[in-house]
A and B are shown apart, each in its own frame.
Chain A
Amino acid sequence: MAITQENTVRARAVRKRFPMGEGYLEALKGIDLEVKRGEYISIMGPSGSGKTTLFNMIGGLDKPSDGTVYIDEVDIAQLDAYELAWLRCRKIGYIFQTFNLIPVMTALENVTLPMIFAGLSNDEAITKGRGLLETVGLGDRWQHKPTELSGGQQQRVAIARSFANDPSIILADEPTANLDLKTGHDIIELLRVLNKERGVTIISNTHDPSMLNVSDRIIWIRDGRVERVEARADIDISVGTIGGDTLGGVGGGEIHGGAAGRHAMDRLAGNSSEKK
Protein backbone atom coordinates (compact mmCIF):
# COMPACT_ATOMS: atom_id res chain seq x y z
CA MET A 1 0.00 0.00 0.00
CA ALA A 2 2.91 2.30 0.60
CA ILE A 3 3.58 2.19 -3.13
CA THR A 4 0.12 3.53 -3.89
CA GLN A 5 0.74 6.57 -1.78
CA GLU A 6 4.23 7.32 -2.96
CA ASN A 7 4.59 6.70 -6.66
CA THR A 8 2.47 8.81 -8.91
CA VAL A 9 4.07 7.61 -12.14
CA ARG A 10 5.66 4.25 -12.64
CA ALA A 11 6.98 2.67 -15.82
CA ARG A 12 7.83 -1.01 -16.02
CA ALA A 13 9.94 -2.36 -18.88
CA VAL A 14 8.40 0.07 -21.34
CA ARG A 15 9.36 -0.56 -24.95
CA LYS A 16 8.25 1.25 -28.06
CA ARG A 17 8.86 0.17 -31.61
CA PHE A 18 8.09 2.22 -34.69
CA PRO A 19 7.80 0.57 -38.09
CA MET A 20 10.67 1.84 -40.18
CA GLY A 21 11.33 0.61 -43.68
CA GLU A 22 11.34 -3.18 -43.65
CA GLY A 23 11.96 -3.56 -39.93
CA TYR A 24 11.41 -1.67 -36.72
CA LEU A 25 13.09 1.17 -34.93
CA GLU A 26 13.14 0.54 -31.21
CA ALA A 27 12.91 3.99 -29.64
CA LEU A 28 12.54 2.71 -26.07
CA LYS A 29 14.32 -0.47 -25.07
CA GLY A 30 12.89 -1.25 -21.67
CA ILE A 31 12.50 1.81 -19.46
CA ASP A 32 11.95 1.45 -15.72
CA LEU A 33 10.99 4.58 -13.89
CA GLU A 34 9.47 5.64 -10.60
CA VAL A 35 8.35 9.14 -9.81
CA LYS A 36 7.17 10.13 -6.35
CA ARG A 37 4.43 12.61 -5.61
CA GLY A 38 5.62 16.21 -5.60
CA GLU A 39 8.96 15.48 -7.22
CA TYR A 40 10.56 17.64 -9.88
CA ILE A 41 12.11 15.25 -12.36
CA SER A 42 14.19 16.13 -15.37
CA ILE A 43 14.67 13.64 -18.13
CA MET A 44 17.91 14.45 -19.88
CA GLY A 45 19.44 13.01 -22.96
CA PRO A 46 20.68 13.84 -26.43
CA SER A 47 18.15 14.32 -29.18
CA GLY A 48 17.00 11.02 -30.61
CA SER A 49 17.47 9.28 -27.27
CA GLY A 50 13.74 8.60 -26.88
CA LYS A 51 12.82 11.41 -24.48
CA THR A 52 9.74 12.55 -26.36
CA THR A 53 8.62 8.96 -26.95
CA LEU A 54 8.90 8.34 -23.21
CA PHE A 55 6.97 11.56 -22.56
CA ASN A 56 4.16 10.33 -24.83
CA MET A 57 4.07 6.96 -23.05
CA ILE A 58 3.93 8.44 -19.55
CA GLY A 59 1.29 10.96 -20.59
CA GLY A 60 -1.01 8.38 -22.13
CA LEU A 61 -0.62 10.06 -25.51
CA ASP A 62 0.59 6.87 -27.15
CA LYS A 63 0.60 3.20 -26.27
CA PRO A 64 3.78 1.30 -25.44
CA SER A 65 4.54 -1.73 -27.62
CA ASP A 66 5.49 -3.59 -24.47
CA GLY A 67 5.54 -2.96 -20.75
CA THR A 68 3.24 -0.98 -18.51
CA VAL A 69 2.78 2.61 -17.42
CA TYR A 70 1.01 3.20 -14.11
CA ILE A 71 -0.42 6.55 -13.12
CA ASP A 72 -1.43 6.53 -9.47
CA GLU A 73 -0.92 2.76 -9.77
CA VAL A 74 -3.55 2.47 -12.52
CA ASP A 75 -2.38 0.64 -15.64
CA ILE A 76 -3.32 3.18 -18.28
CA ALA A 77 -3.39 0.59 -21.06
CA GLN A 78 -6.58 -0.73 -19.45
CA LEU A 79 -8.41 2.59 -19.78
CA ASP A 80 -10.88 3.16 -22.60
CA ALA A 81 -11.03 6.31 -24.71
CA TYR A 82 -13.36 8.14 -22.33
CA GLU A 83 -11.29 7.26 -19.28
CA LEU A 84 -8.12 8.38 -21.00
CA ALA A 85 -9.74 11.71 -21.88
CA TRP A 86 -10.77 12.05 -18.25
CA LEU A 87 -7.22 11.34 -17.13
CA ARG A 88 -5.75 13.87 -19.56
CA CYS A 89 -8.34 16.41 -18.57
CA ARG A 90 -7.99 16.23 -14.79
CA LYS A 91 -4.88 14.35 -13.73
CA ILE A 92 -2.22 15.44 -16.18
CA GLY A 93 -1.22 18.84 -17.52
CA TYR A 94 0.85 19.00 -20.70
CA ILE A 95 3.40 21.58 -21.75
CA PHE A 96 4.95 21.31 -25.21
CA GLN A 97 8.10 22.51 -26.88
CA THR A 98 6.06 24.33 -29.53
CA PHE A 99 3.53 25.68 -26.99
CA ASN A 100 0.58 24.19 -28.92
CA LEU A 101 -1.93 26.88 -28.08
CA ILE A 102 -5.15 26.77 -30.07
CA PRO A 103 -4.45 29.55 -32.59
CA VAL A 104 -8.03 30.77 -32.97
CA MET A 105 -8.58 31.29 -29.24
CA THR A 106 -7.44 34.05 -26.89
CA ALA A 107 -5.05 33.39 -24.01
CA LEU A 108 -7.96 33.21 -21.58
CA GLU A 109 -9.98 30.89 -23.84
CA ASN A 110 -6.98 28.61 -24.16
CA VAL A 111 -6.65 28.42 -20.39
CA THR A 112 -10.35 27.89 -19.77
CA LEU A 113 -10.85 25.20 -22.45
CA PRO A 114 -9.78 22.30 -20.19
CA MET A 115 -12.02 23.68 -17.43
CA ILE A 116 -14.99 23.73 -19.81
CA PHE A 117 -14.20 20.08 -20.67
CA ALA A 118 -14.19 19.40 -16.93
CA GLY A 119 -17.69 20.81 -16.70
CA LEU A 120 -17.01 24.13 -15.01
CA SER A 121 -19.48 26.90 -15.74
CA ASN A 122 -18.31 29.76 -17.94
CA ASP A 123 -18.11 32.24 -15.08
CA GLU A 124 -16.18 29.89 -12.81
CA ALA A 125 -13.76 29.09 -15.64
CA ILE A 126 -13.18 32.76 -16.44
CA THR A 127 -12.49 33.66 -12.80
CA LYS A 128 -10.11 30.74 -12.39
CA GLY A 129 -8.47 31.34 -15.77
CA ARG A 130 -7.82 35.02 -15.00
CA GLY A 131 -6.31 33.95 -11.69
CA LEU A 132 -3.99 31.44 -13.40
CA LEU A 133 -2.89 33.99 -15.99
CA GLU A 134 -2.20 36.37 -13.10
CA THR A 135 -0.04 33.66 -11.49
CA VAL A 136 2.09 33.25 -14.61
CA GLY A 137 2.42 37.03 -14.96
CA LEU A 138 0.08 37.62 -17.89
CA GLY A 139 -2.88 39.08 -16.03
CA ASP A 140 -3.23 41.97 -18.48
CA ARG A 141 -2.78 39.99 -21.71
CA TRP A 142 -5.73 37.64 -21.35
CA GLN A 143 -7.59 38.83 -24.42
CA HIS A 144 -4.62 38.41 -26.77
CA LYS A 145 -4.40 35.69 -29.41
CA PRO A 146 -1.32 33.43 -29.43
CA THR A 147 0.05 35.21 -32.52
CA GLU A 148 0.05 38.47 -30.57
CA LEU A 149 2.22 37.02 -27.82
CA SER A 150 5.96 36.34 -27.70
CA GLY A 151 7.29 32.78 -27.38
CA GLY A 152 7.88 33.15 -23.66
CA GLN A 153 4.42 34.58 -23.14
CA GLN A 154 2.86 31.77 -25.15
CA GLN A 155 4.67 29.23 -22.99
CA ARG A 156 3.36 31.01 -19.89
CA VAL A 157 -0.17 30.69 -21.25
CA ALA A 158 0.53 27.01 -21.90
CA ILE A 159 1.72 26.60 -18.31
CA ALA A 160 -1.41 28.34 -17.00
CA ARG A 161 -3.46 26.01 -19.22
CA SER A 162 -1.66 22.92 -17.93
CA PHE A 163 -2.68 23.90 -14.39
CA ALA A 164 -6.30 24.51 -15.38
CA ASN A 165 -7.85 21.52 -13.61
CA ASP A 166 -5.36 21.29 -10.74
CA PRO A 167 -3.63 18.19 -12.11
CA SER A 168 -1.37 16.10 -9.93
CA ILE A 169 1.19 15.66 -12.69
CA ILE A 170 2.64 18.18 -15.11
CA LEU A 171 4.45 16.77 -18.13
CA ALA A 172 6.68 19.18 -19.98
CA ASP A 173 8.33 18.23 -23.26
CA GLU A 174 11.36 20.46 -23.76
CA PRO A 175 9.51 23.54 -22.46
CA THR A 176 12.48 25.85 -22.96
CA ALA A 177 13.86 24.55 -26.25
CA ASN A 178 12.18 27.22 -28.38
CA LEU A 179 12.98 30.09 -26.02
CA ASP A 180 16.04 32.26 -25.46
CA LEU A 181 18.19 31.66 -22.38
CA LYS A 182 16.71 34.33 -20.15
CA THR A 183 13.09 33.46 -20.98
CA GLY A 184 13.92 29.78 -20.54
CA HIS A 185 15.26 30.52 -17.04
CA ASP A 186 12.08 32.41 -16.16
CA ILE A 187 9.94 29.49 -17.34
CA ILE A 188 11.99 27.00 -15.32
CA GLU A 189 11.76 29.23 -12.27
CA LEU A 190 7.99 29.51 -12.72
CA LEU A 191 7.65 25.73 -12.94
CA ARG A 192 9.76 25.30 -9.82
CA VAL A 193 7.65 27.80 -7.87
CA LEU A 194 4.42 26.10 -8.94
CA ASN A 195 5.93 22.73 -8.04
CA LYS A 196 6.75 23.99 -4.52
CA GLU A 197 3.54 25.94 -3.93
CA ARG A 198 1.06 23.44 -5.30
CA GLY A 199 2.91 20.23 -4.59
CA VAL A 200 2.40 19.11 -8.16
CA THR A 201 4.71 16.49 -9.67
CA ILE A 202 6.67 17.85 -12.60
CA ILE A 203 8.32 15.63 -15.17
CA SER A 204 10.24 17.56 -17.73
CA ASN A 205 12.15 16.51 -20.82
CA THR A 206 15.05 18.75 -21.47
CA HIS A 207 18.53 19.18 -22.73
CA ASP A 208 18.80 22.54 -21.04
CA PRO A 209 21.47 22.31 -18.30
CA SER A 210 19.88 25.12 -16.29
CA MET A 211 16.99 22.76 -15.58
CA LEU A 212 19.36 20.60 -13.53
CA ASN A 213 19.61 23.05 -10.67
CA VAL A 214 15.92 22.94 -9.87
CA SER A 215 15.36 19.21 -10.32
CA ASP A 216 15.00 16.78 -7.44
CA ARG A 217 16.24 13.97 -9.62
CA ILE A 218 17.63 13.71 -13.10
CA ILE A 219 17.05 10.69 -15.25
CA TRP A 220 19.56 10.33 -18.03
CA ILE A 221 18.26 8.60 -21.11
CA ARG A 222 20.53 7.34 -23.82
CA ASP A 223 19.68 5.19 -26.77
CA GLY A 224 16.25 4.24 -25.42
CA ARG A 225 17.45 3.17 -22.00
CA VAL A 226 17.85 4.76 -18.60
CA GLU A 227 21.54 5.41 -18.36
CA ARG A 228 21.60 6.62 -14.78
CA VAL A 229 19.56 8.49 -12.20
CA GLU A 230 21.01 11.24 -10.10
CA ALA A 231 19.53 12.70 -6.94
CA ARG A 232 19.81 16.40 -6.30
CA ALA A 233 22.62 15.90 -3.77
CA ASP A 234 24.90 14.60 -6.53
CA ILE A 235 24.02 17.29 -9.03
CA ASP A 236 26.47 20.00 -7.94
CA ILE A 237 29.38 17.68 -8.54
CA SER A 238 28.24 16.17 -11.78
CA VAL A 239 26.85 19.15 -13.66
CA GLY A 240 30.17 20.37 -14.96
CA THR A 241 31.63 17.10 -16.10
CA ILE A 242 28.92 14.65 -16.99
CA GLY A 243 26.41 17.26 -18.04
CA GLY A 244 28.88 18.89 -20.40
CA ASP A 245 30.02 15.55 -21.71
CA THR A 246 26.56 14.26 -22.51
CA LEU A 247 25.32 17.50 -23.99
CA GLY A 248 28.34 17.91 -26.18
CA GLY A 249 28.68 14.32 -27.23
CA VAL A 250 25.58 13.59 -29.23
CA GLY A 251 27.51 11.19 -31.42
CA GLY A 252 29.28 9.49 -28.52
CA GLY A 253 26.43 7.23 -27.52
CA GLU A 254 28.53 4.10 -27.64
CA ILE A 255 31.09 5.27 -25.10
CA HIS A 256 28.72 5.01 -22.18
CA GLY A 257 27.02 1.87 -23.41
CA GLY A 258 23.34 1.43 -22.70
CA ALA A 259 23.32 -2.12 -21.37
CA ALA A 260 24.47 -1.22 -17.87
CA GLY A 261 22.01 1.61 -17.66
CA ARG A 262 19.05 -0.67 -17.68
CA HIS A 263 19.51 -1.85 -14.14
CA ALA A 264 21.09 1.37 -12.95
CA MET A 265 17.65 2.80 -12.25
CA ASP A 266 16.76 0.17 -9.68
CA ARG A 267 20.15 0.36 -8.06
CA LEU A 268 20.10 4.13 -7.78
CA ALA A 269 16.49 4.29 -6.72
CA GLY A 270 17.42 1.90 -3.92
CA ASN A 271 20.35 4.09 -2.94
CA SER A 272 18.37 7.26 -2.81
CA SER A 273 15.62 5.75 -0.69
CA GLU A 274 18.25 4.53 1.74
CA LYS A 275 19.51 8.05 2.13
CA LYS A 276 16.05 9.19 3.13
Chain B
Amino acid sequence: MEDKVDHELAMKRLREEMHTSGVATPFATALKIAFQSLRIRFWRSIITIAGVFFAIAFLVSVLNSAIIEQFVTPVEEGGVRGFGIGYIFFLLAAEPRQAWLITMSLVVCVIGIANAMLMSVTERYKEIGTMKCLGALDIFVVELFLLESGFQGLVGSFAGALVGTVLVLLSSLISHGFAVFSVAPWGQVFLNIILGALVGVLLTLLGASFPAYRASQMPPADAMRTEV
Protein backbone atom coordinates (compact mmCIF):
# COMPACT_ATOMS: atom_id res chain seq x y z
CA MET B 1 0.00 0.00 0.00
CA GLU B 2 2.62 2.55 1.07
CA ASP B 3 4.59 2.35 -2.13
CA LYS B 4 7.48 4.80 -1.92
CA VAL B 5 8.27 4.77 -5.65
CA ASP B 6 4.69 5.59 -6.39
CA HIS B 7 4.84 8.88 -4.49
CA GLU B 8 8.13 9.88 -6.01
CA LEU B 9 6.72 9.34 -9.47
CA ALA B 10 3.66 11.39 -8.60
CA MET B 11 5.87 14.19 -7.27
CA LYS B 12 8.00 14.09 -10.40
CA ARG B 13 4.93 14.33 -12.57
CA LEU B 14 3.57 17.25 -10.56
CA ARG B 15 6.88 19.12 -10.78
CA GLU B 16 6.95 18.58 -14.54
CA GLU B 17 3.48 20.06 -14.74
CA MET B 18 4.65 23.01 -12.65
CA HIS B 19 7.43 23.63 -15.13
CA THR B 20 5.04 24.04 -18.02
CA SER B 21 2.59 26.24 -16.09
CA GLY B 22 3.72 28.62 -13.39
CA VAL B 23 2.11 30.99 -10.94
CA ALA B 24 2.23 34.65 -11.89
CA THR B 25 2.68 37.73 -9.72
CA PRO B 26 0.78 40.17 -11.90
CA PHE B 27 1.96 43.70 -11.11
CA ALA B 28 -0.95 45.36 -12.90
CA THR B 29 -3.41 43.37 -10.79
CA ALA B 30 -1.57 44.24 -7.58
CA LEU B 31 -1.68 47.91 -8.57
CA LYS B 32 -5.39 47.70 -9.33
CA ILE B 33 -6.25 45.98 -6.04
CA ALA B 34 -4.07 48.43 -4.08
CA PHE B 35 -5.83 51.46 -5.56
CA GLN B 36 -9.28 49.96 -5.18
CA SER B 37 -8.50 49.27 -1.52
CA LEU B 38 -7.34 52.84 -1.01
CA ARG B 39 -10.45 54.20 -2.70
CA ILE B 40 -12.87 52.02 -0.74
CA ARG B 41 -11.18 52.81 2.56
CA PHE B 42 -10.91 56.45 1.58
CA TRP B 43 -11.24 58.10 4.99
CA ARG B 44 -9.05 55.51 6.63
CA SER B 45 -6.35 56.16 4.04
CA ILE B 46 -6.78 59.89 4.57
CA ILE B 47 -6.06 59.45 8.29
CA THR B 48 -2.97 57.36 7.54
CA ILE B 49 -1.84 59.94 5.00
CA ALA B 50 -2.50 62.71 7.55
CA GLY B 51 -0.21 60.96 10.04
CA VAL B 52 2.61 60.90 7.51
CA PHE B 53 1.75 64.42 6.40
CA PHE B 54 2.12 66.01 9.85
CA ALA B 55 5.24 64.06 10.72
CA ILE B 56 7.03 65.13 7.56
CA ALA B 57 5.65 68.67 7.63
CA PHE B 58 7.14 68.98 11.12
CA LEU B 59 10.51 67.54 10.14
CA VAL B 60 10.86 69.64 6.99
CA SER B 61 9.72 72.84 8.70
CA VAL B 62 12.35 72.35 11.42
CA LEU B 63 15.11 71.73 8.88
CA ASN B 64 14.06 74.50 6.51
CA SER B 65 13.49 77.12 9.16
CA ALA B 66 16.97 76.32 10.49
CA ILE B 67 18.61 76.68 7.11
CA ILE B 68 16.77 79.90 6.28
CA GLU B 69 17.54 81.43 9.66
CA GLN B 70 21.23 80.64 9.17
CA PHE B 71 21.23 82.68 5.98
CA VAL B 72 19.03 85.53 7.13
CA THR B 73 20.85 86.21 10.41
CA PRO B 74 24.51 85.19 10.25
CA VAL B 75 25.39 82.62 12.89
CA GLU B 76 28.00 83.83 15.38
CA GLU B 77 31.12 81.80 16.10
CA GLY B 78 30.25 78.43 17.72
CA GLY B 79 26.53 78.75 16.94
CA VAL B 80 24.33 75.98 15.61
CA ARG B 81 24.63 75.52 11.88
CA GLY B 82 24.13 72.63 9.55
CA PHE B 83 22.01 71.26 6.81
CA GLY B 84 19.55 68.40 6.58
CA ILE B 85 19.74 65.78 9.31
CA GLY B 86 23.19 67.14 10.16
CA TYR B 87 21.45 70.16 11.71
CA ILE B 88 19.81 67.97 14.30
CA PHE B 89 23.17 66.47 15.29
CA PHE B 90 24.68 69.95 15.61
CA LEU B 91 21.73 71.00 17.69
CA LEU B 92 22.12 67.92 19.84
CA ALA B 93 25.63 69.06 20.74
CA ALA B 94 24.83 72.76 21.18
CA GLU B 95 21.30 72.77 22.58
CA PRO B 96 20.45 69.23 23.71
CA ARG B 97 17.12 70.29 25.22
CA GLN B 98 15.71 71.56 21.95
CA ALA B 99 17.17 68.66 19.96
CA TRP B 100 15.61 66.26 22.42
CA LEU B 101 12.17 67.79 21.87
CA ILE B 102 12.50 67.56 18.10
CA THR B 103 13.73 63.96 18.27
CA MET B 104 10.91 62.92 20.58
CA SER B 105 8.30 64.48 18.27
CA LEU B 106 9.77 62.57 15.36
CA VAL B 107 9.79 59.30 17.30
CA VAL B 108 6.10 59.77 18.12
CA CYS B 109 5.39 60.36 14.43
CA VAL B 110 7.31 57.24 13.41
CA ILE B 111 5.36 55.14 15.89
CA GLY B 112 2.12 56.65 14.60
CA ILE B 113 2.99 55.70 11.03
CA ALA B 114 4.07 52.19 12.04
CA ASN B 115 0.82 51.69 13.95
CA ALA B 116 -1.35 52.86 11.05
CA MET B 117 0.45 50.46 8.71
CA LEU B 118 0.24 47.60 11.19
CA MET B 119 -3.51 48.08 11.51
CA SER B 120 -4.12 48.32 7.79
CA VAL B 121 -2.39 44.96 7.30
CA THR B 122 -3.78 43.09 10.30
CA GLU B 123 -7.39 44.06 9.62
CA ARG B 124 -7.03 42.31 6.29
CA TYR B 125 -5.55 38.99 7.37
CA LYS B 126 -8.65 37.20 6.13
CA GLU B 127 -8.30 38.79 2.71
CA ILE B 128 -4.64 37.77 2.63
CA GLY B 129 -5.51 34.18 3.57
CA THR B 130 -8.17 34.06 0.88
CA MET B 131 -5.80 35.36 -1.76
CA LYS B 132 -3.28 32.71 -0.82
CA CYS B 133 -6.01 30.09 -1.26
CA LEU B 134 -6.53 31.41 -4.77
CA GLY B 135 -2.87 30.88 -5.55
CA ALA B 136 -1.27 34.20 -4.61
CA LEU B 137 2.44 33.89 -3.97
CA ASP B 138 3.86 35.35 -0.77
CA ILE B 139 5.65 38.01 -2.77
CA PHE B 140 2.35 39.14 -4.32
CA VAL B 141 0.90 39.82 -0.88
CA VAL B 142 3.95 41.83 0.15
CA GLU B 143 3.91 43.69 -3.17
CA LEU B 144 0.26 44.59 -2.69
CA PHE B 145 0.81 46.18 0.69
CA LEU B 146 4.02 47.91 -0.26
CA LEU B 147 2.25 49.50 -3.22
CA GLU B 148 -0.61 50.61 -1.03
CA SER B 149 1.52 52.03 1.76
CA GLY B 150 4.10 53.42 -0.66
CA PHE B 151 1.41 55.45 -2.35
CA GLN B 152 0.09 56.73 0.98
CA GLY B 153 3.63 57.56 2.07
CA LEU B 154 4.41 59.36 -1.17
CA VAL B 155 1.30 61.55 -1.14
CA GLY B 156 1.50 62.26 2.59
CA SER B 157 5.18 63.08 2.76
CA PHE B 158 5.36 65.18 -0.41
CA ALA B 159 2.35 67.22 0.63
CA GLY B 160 3.77 67.47 4.15
CA ALA B 161 7.20 68.59 2.94
CA LEU B 162 5.69 71.24 0.67
CA VAL B 163 3.22 72.59 3.20
CA GLY B 164 5.89 72.59 5.93
CA THR B 165 8.21 74.63 3.72
CA VAL B 166 5.51 77.09 2.68
CA LEU B 167 4.62 77.70 6.33
CA VAL B 168 8.26 78.30 7.23
CA LEU B 169 8.62 80.72 4.32
CA LEU B 170 5.51 82.59 5.41
CA SER B 171 6.69 82.89 8.99
CA SER B 172 10.13 84.17 7.99
CA LEU B 173 8.45 86.52 5.52
CA ILE B 174 6.51 88.01 8.39
CA SER B 175 9.52 88.40 10.66
CA HIS B 176 12.12 89.46 8.08
CA GLY B 177 10.22 90.89 5.14
CA PHE B 178 10.72 90.23 1.42
CA ALA B 179 14.50 90.25 1.78
CA VAL B 180 14.16 86.56 2.77
CA PHE B 181 13.40 85.55 -0.82
CA SER B 182 16.68 86.93 -2.13
CA VAL B 183 18.93 85.36 0.55
CA ALA B 184 17.14 82.05 1.10
CA PRO B 185 19.31 79.09 0.01
CA TRP B 186 16.77 77.64 -2.44
CA GLY B 187 18.90 74.68 -3.41
CA GLN B 188 19.20 73.50 0.18
CA VAL B 189 15.53 74.22 0.89
CA PHE B 190 14.66 72.05 -2.11
CA LEU B 191 17.00 69.28 -0.95
CA ASN B 192 15.36 69.34 2.47
CA ILE B 193 11.97 68.82 0.80
CA ILE B 194 13.31 65.81 -1.11
CA LEU B 195 14.97 64.49 2.05
CA GLY B 196 11.75 64.82 4.05
CA ALA B 197 9.66 63.10 1.38
CA LEU B 198 12.19 60.29 1.15
CA VAL B 199 12.22 59.79 4.92
CA GLY B 200 8.39 59.70 4.88
CA VAL B 201 8.20 57.09 2.13
CA LEU B 202 10.88 54.95 3.78
CA LEU B 203 9.14 55.07 7.15
CA THR B 204 5.78 54.01 5.68
CA LEU B 205 7.37 51.20 3.67
CA LEU B 206 9.27 50.06 6.74
CA GLY B 207 6.12 50.22 8.86
CA ALA B 208 4.13 48.17 6.34
CA SER B 209 6.76 45.66 5.28
CA PHE B 210 7.14 43.85 8.61
CA PRO B 211 3.45 43.06 9.15
CA ALA B 212 2.92 42.39 5.43
CA TYR B 213 5.83 39.96 5.36
CA ARG B 214 4.63 38.22 8.48
CA ALA B 215 1.11 37.92 7.07
CA SER B 216 2.42 36.53 3.79
CA GLN B 217 4.35 33.81 5.62
CA MET B 218 1.35 32.64 7.63
CA PRO B 219 -0.38 29.42 6.62
CA PRO B 220 -3.68 30.53 5.01
CA ALA B 221 -5.69 28.74 7.67
CA ASP B 222 -4.07 30.82 10.43
CA ALA B 223 -4.50 34.05 8.47
CA MET B 224 -8.20 33.40 7.93
CA ARG B 225 -8.75 32.39 11.54
CA THR B 226 -7.21 35.55 12.94
CA GLU B 227 -9.83 38.03 14.11
CA VAL B 228 -8.67 41.55 14.77
A residues at B contact (CB < 8 Å) = 1, 3-4, 12, 56, 59, 61-63, 70, 72-75, 78, 81-83, 85-86, 88-90, 94, 96, 100-105, 113-114, 116-119, 161, 164-165
Contact = CB atoms under 8 A, between A and B. Distances in A.
Contacts of A89: 23, 134-135
Nearest to B223: A61
In terms of DSSP, what is the predominant structure of the interface of chain A? mixed
Interface residues of B, number: 40
Nearest to B22: A119
User: Most B CB atoms within 10 A — which of A12, A114, A117, A165?
Assistant: A117
B133 A113 contact: no
Contacts of B222: 62
A81 B137 contact: yes
A113 to B, nearest CB: 6
B40 A104 contact: yes
B24 A117 contact: yes
B77 interface: no
A61 B9 contact: no
Nearest to B130: A100
Contact of A118 (B1, B10, B135, B224): B135
A267 to B, nearest CB: 15
Cβ-closest 6 pairs across A and B: A89-B135, A62-B221, A73-B10, A56-B221, A61-B221, A117-B135
B11 A74 contact: yes
Given A85-B136, A88-B135, 13 more contacts: A3-B1, A4-B9, A61-B129, A61-B219, A70-B10, A72-B10, A73-B10, A83-B18, A85-B132, A86-B135, A89-B135, A102-B130, A113-B134
